[in-house]
Structure 1
Amino acid sequence: MPAISVIIPVYRVERYLDACVSSVLAQTFGDFEIILVDDGSPDGCPALCDAWARKDPRIRVIHRENGGLSAARNTGIEAAKGQFLTFVDSDDLLEPDTLRRAWEAQRQYSADLVVYNLVYVDENNRPLASPDFTVFRDEVLDEAEVWRRYFALEEQKIYYVVAWNKLYRAELFRELRYAEGKRYEDQFLMPRLLAQCGRIACLAYPGYRYVQRGGSIMAQGSSRNYLDRSEFLLEWCDYFAGKGDLLRAEGLLNDAIQNLSEKERFDLSTPQQRARYRADCRGCADAYMRLARRTGQNTMRLRAALLRLGLPVYQKFLQSKNGR
């Protein structure tokens, strides 16, 4: 059994895949397997994956029909043999000492999760000055402390919630999988994952090189342009309400409502997307009613009732309340 399973979903990254796999094979820590999940890539990636498997016995390839990034990661999770898992996107790179440092931190602190730092680089692997991730330091946190730091940050928030700069105890995924067909799939999963963690070792070491390229999923505009953002915020609202953090829950709900009120941002050109948008709006009303039941506040019941009448009605209420 390898110590670490490195799961690399592969789709249309013919130009980048060799560099990615090479960066993993160059690790100073050698007790790992690599699982290349070819997600039905229509280019030369399937052949490249098979060629890598012939070169190194630590590499396994799984060819599957295209199902998206989450489905590919889930396939890798189910095939993994390691005690710990890590994800690397196939157009990104690891620094040579990343797995060793993560493994030693896990051993030192008996951590369920290790988070290592990142640096944005351009397509020629040149570091970018912004965002600046040098704000992070070595520390051991619990779930509550992670969330406190997350909500205090702006553009560096991804350090805590993205899938790929982390070493996970494999048992964390016993019942968890990434939400398929969703953008920001890591945000949907992260609350339930962190809830299982006793100790979370956070490292200042910039072990992950996050390549900024046109055409990647993360390069396709603001998260506010996609309904997925409001949907994970609604899930987070319920999560924090369940923990008794009602102020945080209401803040997340209001962020989801504000996002949905920016209706022009969304592609609502199909009946399915319009139905999804309406369902998300109803979800906000339902979430306010659940908060009202927890708090007994009639103002929350009023907000829920107004939201059921529609976002335009609710926005007029807010404008009158703010004297505008």
Structure 2
Amino acid sequence: MYKLSVIIPIYKVENYIEECLNSVLIQLTPEVEVICINDGSPDESMNIVSSLISNCSNAIQNQFVLINQENKGLSAARNAGIKLAKGEYIAFLDSDDKLSDSFVQDVINTIKKKQPDLIDFNLFTSTNKTIFIYENPSDLSLKSLFKSGKWFACSRVYSKKLIGNELFINGIYYEDIGFVPKKYLKANNIEYLNKNLYWYRIRENSITNNVSEDSYNKSLCSFEKLIESYMDLYRVENNKLYYFLSFFIFYTKITYVCKNKNKTEAGVFVLKYKDLLRDKHKLNLSYFGCRVIFFLYFPKFYIFMYDFYLKLKRNKYFFKL
């Protein structure tokens, strides 16, 4: 049995996939399998993958699983990989990103020594910045984690037992926030490696950075599904961190609407989710930053001020104090 399964969903990444795959090949050990899910990519991505693997030894070729499916989105591709995975642990690698050179060694060593439910590590971005998963790397509490809001699925390694049958929500954006927090609230043993083990590419032309009318509407639907998902969990389990997640997603949705539509439409959603605001006594305010707390108590005024800030910024009258 493999110790680790690395799942790589592939879609329209012909300019990046060779670099991504090479970052895995240079450190591949017999304890690791690699599952490449072709999510109906219309370009040469999968041909590049096949060509690279065909030049490897038979032993390495046998460690790869190549799957073709019609385009269903990132969540469905990851879910397909999870179902096929033979490893005790699962890692996710986006096909325009890379693993650091010590990823496999550090992760496998941690698995053998600690057998954790979850392994955390930091990301190093294409803009030369480190994304720390915990708000304060010396504070490994759930509070620090939730306050940072860094829910990147690819900055963790998960035991397959922890994932179980609870997979990514299909057909939405921001799928990571619907998956990752749930694992923390079920994990008993979490190990944090304060290392940059993953290289994360920031692309200006990504789906969430290019807002067409269709992507805007899908984003709104995604936010609503996530809010309802966590509210359902809160009602069943009465864990206030699920309520916290619902509210934080709601706040994120409001700022998104302000940026991409207008303050009037943002106000409509404040009224729609007024119950979330009314029950603010259920929230631990120490988990929030000042801006979110201000929104919690003065939502309409916050929207007005945020809209004013955005107008100044767009007109280049904005300056940092």
Is the TM-score greater than 0.5?
yes
* AA matched with 1:149: S
Name the Cα RMSD after superposition: 3.9
Aligned positions of 1:200-279 closer than 5 A: 200-217=190-207, 219-220=209-210, 226-227=219-220, 228-229=222-223, 231-239=225-233, 244=238, 246=240, 249=243, 252-253=246-247, 256=250, 259-260=253-254, 263=257, 265=259
Counterpart-to-counterpart distance in 2, 1:243 and 1:261: 29
Residues 87, 163 of structure 1: 8 Å contact kept: yes
Residue 8 of structure 1 corresponds to: 8
Residue 152 of structure 1 corresponds to: 147
Q: TM-score, normalised on structure 1? A: 0.70
1:67-111 deviations in Å (ceiling 9; x for gaps): 111111111111111111101000101112112112222332231
Counterpart-to-counterpart distance in 2, 1:61 and 1:199: 32
Counterpart-to-counterpart distance in 2, 1:28 and 1:60: 14
Query: CA separation of 1:66/1:267 partners in 2, compared to 1, >3 Å: closer, same or farther?
Result: farther
Residue 273 of structure 2 corresponds to: 284
Shift of 1:267: 7.0
Residues 120, 133 of structure 2: 8 Å contact kept: no
Aligned positions of 1:4-43 closer than 5 A: 4-27=4-27, 29-43=29-43
Query: CA separation of 1:174/1:217 partners in 2, compared to 1, >3 Å: closer, same or farther?
Result: same
Residues 7, 36 of structure 1: 8 Å contact kept: yes
Residues 10, 36 of structure 2: 8 Å contact kept: yes
Aligned positions of 1:55-204 closer than 5 A: 55=56, 56-122=61-127, 128-129=128-129, 137=137, 145-146=141-142, 148-153=143-148, 157-158=149-150, 161-204=151-194
The number of residues matched between the two structures is 274
Residue 317 of structure 2 corresponds to: none
Q: TM-score, normalised on structure 2? A: 0.71
Query: Secondary structure of the residue that 1:164 maps to in structure 2?
Result: helix
The runs of 5 or more residues in structure 2 that have no matched partner are: 283-298, 305-321
The runs of 5 or more residues in structure 1 that have no matched partner are: 123-127, 269-273, 296-313, 320-324
Counterpart-to-counterpart distance in 2, 1:111 and 1:45: 34
Identity of aligned residues (%): 26
